[in-house]
Structure 1
Amino acid sequence: MPETAPSGMTPEAVEYRSRGRVLFIGAAAMWAPWLQRNDWPEPLQPAFLLLDDIPVAAAARTMRAAGQTISIQGHLGTYRVRLDDGRDVAAELLGPGEVFDLIVDAGDPPQLAREVAPFGYFAPLNEGRDLADVVAQLPEWVGEFEKRRYFAYRDGLCARRGGGREGCRRCVDACPAEAIALRPTAVEVDPYLCQGCGDCTTVCPTGALSYCWPPPTESLSRWLAALEARPAAPVAIVRARQPAEPGDDWQVFPVHSVAACGPEVWLTLLAAGAAGVWLQRAGLTAPSVAALEAQFGWVTALLRGLGYRRRGIGWLEQLPEDGPAALVSEPVSPAVVESKTDQLHLALARLTDVAPQRLASVPLPSPAPLGAVAVNADRCTLCYACVSVCPTGALQAGGESPRLGFVEAACVQCAQCQSQCPEAAITLEPCWLTDAGQRRRLRWLQEDEVLLCLDCGKPFGSRRLVEQVAARIATHPLFADPRQRRRLYLCEDCRIRDLAHD
């Protein structure tokens, strides 16, 4: 449960208040012995929502929901429960404006099918727990509690900043607590539902979501200092409450959340001389395991593409049998920086510099946050929709010239440009360009002739764009007059004057 609140709240915490109003959900036969109970411990206030119409004697407040869909929203201290016929369960059982503090859901399956349930929601059958044990522990969930705010969110870095509806949603898909909601130009994280698993921070390509307990820079600096004394030792990252017991040749770094330690951390440790970075899988949810294994995939492909034959990253439970040896021959600790993307690039630059093999580019599988975009020259009209939604400035307009520029070092493969291109002209190419100068260089993906206004001669746009628009409207009745079609080839000022003349 959340920690008991101290006398002073901090901005890094959120507070819960529970008065003991409990809703029990399930079949009448399952709750029959409890329905007649009249000696509930203070301060519990029980109410029952029965999922069938089987008659049963009840001393407690009871409501039927046979055949109804049940909607549950909220968290410890604020649960709102509604039926699909519009009835508010708390209003009917407790009174207008009331809510439930706790829910014990004995439905099979439970109403909330989440890998990580909100605080105060219990599904004994799903959790394999004894019903009586859960009920006996309910008084411990009455009072005032606080929980750390595990994450920090900077919307200026978010890959949804451009307003894309089908672009980056990696944090939403990864969250096992369903604490993250999509918004048109950002995401919204409910700090009351978040329980600090850290999946969102690992899959976030830009670092818009970061873990802040403790801050990643603090942990990584401490780990690099410990590694300097034993650079050839493997590293185990384990849960603080479930410590592993590797041998004396190991560096063991306990953390609150294994899933919050992502590729920028693993690769920094490898560049600093670690013989491997191994994560403890025990205790992780299925979504956390899937999110981390997706990251393992592209990191492993990158290391192999650079010629590293030793397996550098994986689960602690699947260790290779060969003895410890540093992955790199010349370990150097990269600087520790605030930016997740910069930290990743610093580590990769070092691993590339001392790599056994140096390809011009290493192809990577998705969801690697590194790579290029390819533009179909026959489709692209230089409308710059991609530029307007790119959250990192990887795609840039050409200023006075109609052309599209790209800086690979800034691209995080968020797919905003691909999803928002009206001509379907963009595809993603996950890869690692090994030449640092080439990564940082602005290169032009598409260029076109500047169109000059027919009246004043001022340059005002791309010839390709205007001619494609002209071709599309050629048979439209509103543009049957040649003079109307001619206006497409005028700058904005001349077009207004020509309309005024009519």
Structure 2
Amino acid sequence: MPETGPSGMTPETVEYRSRGRVLFIGATAVLAPWLRRNDWPEPLRPAFLLLDDAPVTAAVRMMRAAGQAVSIQGHLGAYRVRLDDGRDVAAELLEPGEVFDLIVDAGDPPQLARAVAPFGYFAPLAEGRELADVVERLSDWVGEFEKPRYFAYRAELCARRGGGREGCRRCVDACPAEAIALRLTAVEVDPYLCQGCGDCTTVCPTGALSYRWPPRTESLPRWLAALESRPAAPVAFVNAQQPAEPGDGWLVFPVHSVAACGPEVWLTLLAAGAAGVWLQRTGLTAPSVAALEAQFGWVAALLRGLGYRQRGVGWLEQLPEDGAAALVSEPVSLAVVESKIDQLRLALARLTEVAPLQPTSVLLPFPAPLGAVAVNADRCTLCYACVSVCPTGALQAGGESPRLGFVEAACVQCAQCQSQCPEAAVTLEPRWLTDAGQRRRLRWLQEDEVLHCPDCGKPFGSRRLVEQVAARIAGHPLFTGSRQRRRLYLCEDCRIRDLAHD
């Protein structure tokens, strides 16, 4: 994970240093005016990567990349560029050990297809900007810069902690800056690429990724206090850089990113009496919009299932003309806790308690972080692969008895169990089980007879598992004899003794 400071604490800021080494990428005709330019201001040092073989006469650092794919990695002050033939562009155009600080990509399309480009990377043609305007402002990007470290990460809460290769990846899919990489038992966030959109913290089911600028435990109490002073007011989260003005009677909270305010915040405010929670869409990237709309979807399904008629949450720009009354008639200011999933469940418990309807459960769409798992009894062999990868302890082994237990209150629907089951016996069932006692109760999803060793009598496993293994290897040349087949039903100690006897 990202580096830590001398005290072991994660530093609060990320620092960049740019010395003015600029790489221009594009066709010769597009870059011609700058290829011929000889009055570059200090300390800009331009170099050119030309994507064609058109002739040019210019005394500049340049190389050709006609027909080559261009790979760009890094960020402001530390860009590395390679061609698919293995050539390192900096090694050919700069001094030994140097890298590019800035990139002006005049390609069409650009080399990086990210919704949020790294600092110091400019693609003016794709952005509808004039190349000349970008070039004239390059000097502003030379020097030392810093930005906040927007996120905090706790690997022990991550839904990849169980080691699944195909398990939870919601933060990766949501990040418009492509700043998050999958690792076997965790994720890794590049703090230099992260620009604080907050999408990862909104979609993270466990709270392993949280927003730290400011943290929810600091901001939410202020918002609840403001709502308590203005009961039944609609709440608007707006972009602090370009805030909307929804009108009189609103509680308006400017934030760095509205995407960092997730369902646990919305539902807590609704339980406290807000007349809807509305987010400003202006300024969000397409991935951010998609991530938030997925959260809107399951929250809306939950509220409908509980009998609430109001829409509850949505885009400020799509607010119904008739407005909305407070969602609950008996608002309560809930406690603010550090755990995201616990905050969500606190709000849901209150909304369920005073809901117009009292169903036993409400079915929810993916990606709701609430629900059950179902096990196909004919397929499950009680191998406990699902237990070994469950990051929250929702799935549990039965001790000395071969059985599989489940506690719904702990499940965050991360899909690790489903992806890692070798028998494809596990499926997810997103839902809100309204009875708190039932959510917390350990229930058994699968049980089997204990197999006892025929030689020593020791219980050692599930009869179903051993019999399925025996069925699968039937006919194998190493297990054609009755003694070899019988060996499968022995405990580990007796099996070793039997092998030694042979």
Task: Please classify the TM superposition score into its range, dividing by the shorter chain length.
Answer: over 0.9
Instruction: Report deviation, 1:97.
Output: 2.1
3-state SS of 1:47 partner: strand
Unaligned 5+ residue runs, structure 2? Answer: 1-8
1:28 match: 28
3-state SS of 1:197 partner: coil
Q: Distance in 1 between matches of 2:97 and 2:230?
A: 61
Q: Distance in 1 between matches of 2:136 and 2:304?
A: 54
Q: Residue by residue, what CA displacement relative to the aligned partner does 1:278-327 show, whole Å, maximum 9, x if unpaired?
A: 00000000000000000000000000000000110000001112244210
Letter in 2 for 1:102: L
Q: Distance in 2 between matches of 1:390 and 1:220?
A: 30
Instruction: Report deviation, 1:96.
Output: 2.7
Within 5 Å, give how 1:89-238 maps onto structure 2: 89-238=89-238
1:500 partnered with 2:470: no
1:12 match: 12
1:422 match: 422
1:482 match: 482
Q: Residue by residue, what CA displacement relative to the aligned partner does 1:48-100 show, whole Å, maximum 9, x if unpaired?
A: 11111111221211111111110111101111111111111111111332210
1:52 partnered with 2:52: yes
2:298 match: 298
1:244 partnered with 2:244: yes
Letter in 2 for 1:48: F
2:368 match: 368
Contact 2:264/2:344 (<8 A) preserved: yes
Letter in 1 for 2:173: D
1:83 partnered with 2:69: no
Q: Distance in 2 between matches of 1:469 and 1:323?
A: 62
Contact 2:17/2:145 (<8 A) preserved: yes
Q: Distance in 1 between matches of 2:338 and 2:218?
A: 10
Q: Residue by residue, what CA displacement relative to the aligned partner does 1:162-195 show, whole Å, maximum 9, x if unpaired?
A: 1111111110000000000111111111000000
Instruction: Report deviation, 1:32.
Output: 1.1
Q: Distance in 1 between matches of 2:156 and 2:342?
A: 16
3-state SS of 1:432 partner: strand
Contact 2:202/2:261 (<8 A) preserved: yes
2:309 match: 309
Instruction: Report deviation, 1:481.
Output: 1.7
3-state SS of 2:488 partner: helix
1:437 partnered with 2:429: no
Q: Residue by residue, what CA displacement relative to the aligned partner does 1:118-151 show, whole Å, maximum 9, x if unpaired?
A: 0000000111111111111111111111111100
Instruction: Report deviation, 1:396.
Output: 0.3
Instruction: Report deviation, 1:469.
Output: 0.7
Letter in 2 for 1:214: P
Return the TM-score normalized by structure 1: 0.97
Instruction: Tell which deviates more after alignment, 22-31 or 286-295.
Output: 22-31
Within 5 Å, give how 1:309-388 maps onto structure 2: 309-388=309-388
3-state SS of 1:74 partner: strand
Contact 1:232/1:324 (<8 A) preserved: no
Q: Distance in 1 between matches of 2:12 and 2:293?
A: 30
Letter in 2 for 1:230: R
Q: Distance in 1 between matches of 2:413 and 2:324?
A: 34
1:391 match: 391
Instruction: Report deviation, 1:19.
Output: 0.5
Contact 1:176/1:288 (<8 A) preserved: yes
Contact 1:275/1:327 (<8 A) preserved: yes
Q: Distance in 1 between matches of 2:442 and 2:202?
A: 28
Contact 2:72/2:112 (<8 A) preserved: yes
Contact 1:37/1:60 (<8 A) preserved: no
1:277 match: 277
Q: Distance in 2 between matches of 1:454 and 1:230?
A: 73
Contact 2:200/2:209 (<8 A) preserved: yes
Q: Residue by residue, what CA displacement relative to the aligned partner does 1:348-400 show, whole Å, maximum 9, x if unpaired?
A: 00000000001001000001010000000000000000000000000000001
Q: Distance in 1 between matches of 2:154 and 2:417?
A: 20
Contact 2:310/2:324 (<8 A) preserved: no
Letter in 1 for 2:389: V
Instruction: Report deviation, 1:484.
Output: 1.3
Task: Let me know the Cα RMSD of the aligned residues.
Answer: 1.0
Contact 2:227/2:251 (<8 A) preserved: yes
Q: Distance in 1 between matches of 2:336 and 2:444?
A: 32
Contact 1:233/1:324 (<8 A) preserved: no
Letter in 2 for 1:198: G
3-state SS of 1:71 partner: strand
3-state SS of 1:486 partner: helix
Instruction: Report deviation, 1:11.
Output: 1.1
3-state SS of 1:489 partner: coil
Q: Distance in 2 between matches of 1:407 and 1:20?
A: 57
3-state SS of 1:79 partner: strand
Q: Distance in 2 between matches of 1:310 and 1:188?
A: 39
3-state SS of 1:108 partner: coil
Q: Distance in 1 between matches of 2:269 and 2:419?
A: 35
Q: Distance in 1 between matches of 2:478 and 2:323?
A: 77
Q: Distance in 2 between matches of 1:476 and 1:41?
A: 77
Letter in 1 for 2:53: D
3-state SS of 1:287 partner: helix
1:5 match: none
Contact 2:234/2:249 (<8 A) preserved: yes
Contact 1:371/1:432 (<8 A) preserved: yes
**Residues 421, 217 of structure 1: CA spacing in aligned structure 2 closer, same or farther, 3 A cutoff?**
same
Contact 1:458/1:491 (<8 A) preserved: yes
Q: Distance in 2 between matches of 1:79 and 1:352?
A: 51
Q: Distance in 2 between matches of 1:79 and 1:17?
A: 12
Q: Distance in 2 between matches of 1:39 and 1:152?
A: 45
Q: Residue by residue, what CA displacement relative to the aligned partner does 1:197-253 show, whole Å, maximum 9, x if unpaired?
A: 000010111111111000011110100000001120000001111111122210001
Letter in 1 for 2:99: V
1:468 partnered with 2:468: yes
The percentage of counterpart residues that share the same residue type is 88
Letter in 2 for 1:414: C
Q: Distance in 2 between matches of 1:467 and 1:231?
A: 64
Instruction: Report deviation, 1:10.
Output: 8.2
2:259 match: 259
Contact 1:352/1:358 (<8 A) preserved: yes
3-state SS of 2:29 partner: helix
Unaligned 5+ residue runs, structure 1? Answer: 1-8
